[in-house]
Amino acid sequence: MDLVCPAGSLPALKKAVDNGASAVYVGFKDETNARHFSGLNFKEAKVQSAVDYARAKGVKLYIAVNTYSQPDGWDKWQKAVDVAAGIEADALICADMGVLDYATQKYPDLNLHLSVQGSSTNSESLSFYKNNFNIKRAVLPRVLSLKQVAQVAKKSPVELEVFAFGSLCIMAEGRCYLSSYLTDQSPNTCGACSPANFVRWQETDEGLESRLNEVLIDRYQEGEKAGYPTLCKGRFEVEGRVYHALEEPTSLNTIELIPDLHEIGIKAVKIEGRQRSPAYVEQVVSVWRKALDAYARDPENFKIKPQWAKPLANVSEGSQTTLGAYTRAWQ
Amino acid sequence: MKLSLGPVLFFWPKQRVYDFYEQMLQTSVDTIYLGETVCSKRRELKTAEWIELASYLAESGKEVVLSSLALLMADSELSSLRTLCNKASLKIEANDISAVQLMSEQNLPFVCGPSTNIYNARTLKLMQKNAAMRWVMPVELSGHCLKTILKEADDLGFGDKIETEVFSYGHLPLAYSARCFTARYLDLPKDDCRFSCINYPEGVEVRSQEQQALFNINGTQTQSSSVYNLLGEVAEMQEMGVDMLRISPRADDTAGIIERFKAAIKGESQEIPLSNSACNGYWYAKPGMDLIAENQLDAGRLSC
């Protein structure tokens, strides 16, 4: 299986390439991609260096143009596609049908992948994208159980990529508007979830408080580890009980599923985290490369090694990991 | 401008569903959407019974549309969807692209529901070419965006070939998950959820630790706690060329709400009944939870 790795900067891209990525995915410095954070991503001029570095080492470069184009900004999305086509990206990762349509019409030879933001969770939906835009691959949302991934793979008209490691979206990607409900910016419209400019930290008598657009997301007592106030991972009150009503701060880690994913016929596994540091990319990519290589060498006797666990736990949200929706118990 | 009744997003007992629709037949809604859109485990009415109910309601002369599931993850869900989509005599609301695929390959008319992610005129045109007869704007888009999309649709020469519907009243559907948050609240595994949603006819409220109402848990769906209310924007939508306004059913007084909107369409209602638990921010390109009062509106508000 291919190892598809994130890069939000050239140093991160170099770490991914040098530590065993099969492909690296990047985005431009605007709202055309789903990690539109300040200080992150590539200017047009820089993206050529990214391609050059990756290609020189036999690694592919994918470009994510995976937010939904709105009427007033179409030229940005169009330009993003044009630039990606111009540098002959190995794949363009899109979600919006308007963008996919433009790319298909204008660059029929461009290799199109359906982004996880396209929210395609079944074979009939994948067929629509295949028939209308000739996508070659789709990234599955993190809502399917392993059994369901296998069902989709059996009938899928395109190659499939699944999430292997990183921050866990608990909602079907591409169809979650929680962030814009609180802040006016969502992954679909702006490429941002719980955007940093709406975040406020405050020490109070009742503890350290994290707020998103003034809404209290969590309150930490002394000694509790505070996490970024992603709104679905806050502690809220439901009928008098305060708990993580939607999800705890935790990361997805599916290293133990490598044999299953391979047998199902998954073509690529994806590491989340273009917003993370080069050090994160280095640690996660190198562990996953070792794990995939160990499996390839001796699939029958694949075992998780204890030395893989620690570096992954260190870079995980809340220092804990989960198999997420792949297991029914999580659901 | 017409009025529609959206599908009931909650899990109600069978008799309540039947009684509700009997009552709805007496209201001013022109179109009734019905069917299970949230969770395939909710089977007070089985697929065949929804189809039967839809056929019965259609005899009233109102337009009837069967709404399909939004998040399809299992083969069994796809096969129920095929059963729905192959009933050629009934229109379908596609809430996932799988339904778009099944309808367009038969070249049968369908409605693109609010979770089909139509954010621009280029996408809308593609849907229209694939046989869509109507679309519901994604709930997070603003009035300004809608105006621009409709203008572009006219410029591209297909504006009159597809109808536009706006989610105008009710708890906003904001997210779908594999996880059931109602079962999580009750400490039950999803596989043994005991169909607990049936005990919460309008969901379960999620508040911040400061008692600010935020969300409404409805099984695998997360909704806005506040009720979206565009009653004050009816005239603006009329002017814009919106064809249909959607009222999303609530546990109580849906009929009363319908008649207020009907009056607003006729230009009879001057009253804007916005309470503290209402919101309309999305329409003004603000955070969805915001409530923008009439006197706060200014010319610069409509940026996308």
**CATH number among 3.10.450.50, 3.30.70.360, 3.20.20.70, 3.40.50.720, domain A2-168+250-326:** 3.20.20.70
State yes or no: pLDDT of B95 exceeds 80: yes
Domain boundaries, chain A: 2-168+250-326, 178-243
pLDDT tens digits, residue range B43-85?
Answer: 999 999 999 999 999 999 999 999 999 999 999 999 999 999 9
pLDDT given for residue B275 in this prediction: 66
Mean pLDDT over residues B156-163, rounded?
A: 97
Domain count, chain B: 1
Contact across the interface for B138 and A237, Cβ inside 8 Å? no
Output the pLDDT for position B135.
98
A72 touches chain B (CB under 8 A): yes
pLDDT at A45: 85
User: To which residue do tokens 């997360």 refer?
Assistant: B222
Q: Is A17 in CB contact (< 8 Å) with chain B? A: no
* pLDDT, tens only, B194-210: 999 999 999 999 999 99
Which of B:78-137 have CB within 8 Å of A? Answer: 78, 81, 96-102, 104, 115, 117-123, 126-127, 130
Of B90, B127, B39, B66, the closest CA to residue A128 belongs to: B127
Mean pLDDT score across all residues of chain A:
95
Q: Among all chains, which residue has been given the structure tokens 């789709």? A: A138
Give the whole-angstrom CA distance, residue A8 versus residue A48.
Answer: 14
Query: How far apart (Å, rounded) are the C-alpha atoms in residues A172 and A180?
Result: 15
Confirm if B244 and B63 have CB atoms less than 8 A apart. Answer: no
A307: phi then psi, degrees, rounded to nearest 5 = -70, -10
Q: In which domain, by residue range, is B61 found? A: 2-172+227-272
CATH at B108: 3.20.20.60
Residue type at B276 in one-letter notation: N
The verdict on residue B28 lying in a domain is yes
State mean pLDDT over B255-279.
84
Interface of A with B in 200-219 (CB under 8 A): 213, 215-219
Mean pLDDT, range A241-264, rounded to an integer: 95
Q: Is residue B259 part of a domain?
A: yes
Q: How confident is the model at residue B177 (pLDDT cuts 50, 70, 90)?
A: very high
User: Does residue B303 lie in a domain region?
Assistant: no
CA separation, residue B114 to residues A49, A312, A325, B172 (Å): 41, 38, 24, 10
β-strand pairing of A215-220 with A321-322: unpaired
B99-127 tens-digit pLDDT: 999 999 999 999 999 999 999 999 999 99
Report, as an integer, the average pLDDT of B233-240.
96
In this predicted model, which residue has the larger pLDDT, B84 or B274? B84
Mark B215-245 as b/e (b = at least 16 C-beta within 10 Å).
bbbbbbbbbbbbbbbbbbbbeebeeebbbbb
| pLDDT (mean) for B140-169 | 97
Residue B287 pLDDT level (bands cut at 50, 70, 90): very high
Question: Which of B104, B176, B286 is facing A184, going by the closest CB pair?
Answer: B286
pTM: 0.96
Query: What pLDDT score was predicted for residue A321?
Result: 84
Contact between residue B5 and residue B33 where contact means Cβ atoms under 8 Å apart: yes
Per residue in A104-152, pLDDT tens?
Answer: 999 999 999 999 999 999 999 999 999 999 999 999 999 999 999 999 9
Q: What is the pLDDT of residue B88?
A: 63
User: A172 at the B interface (CB within 8 A)?
Assistant: yes
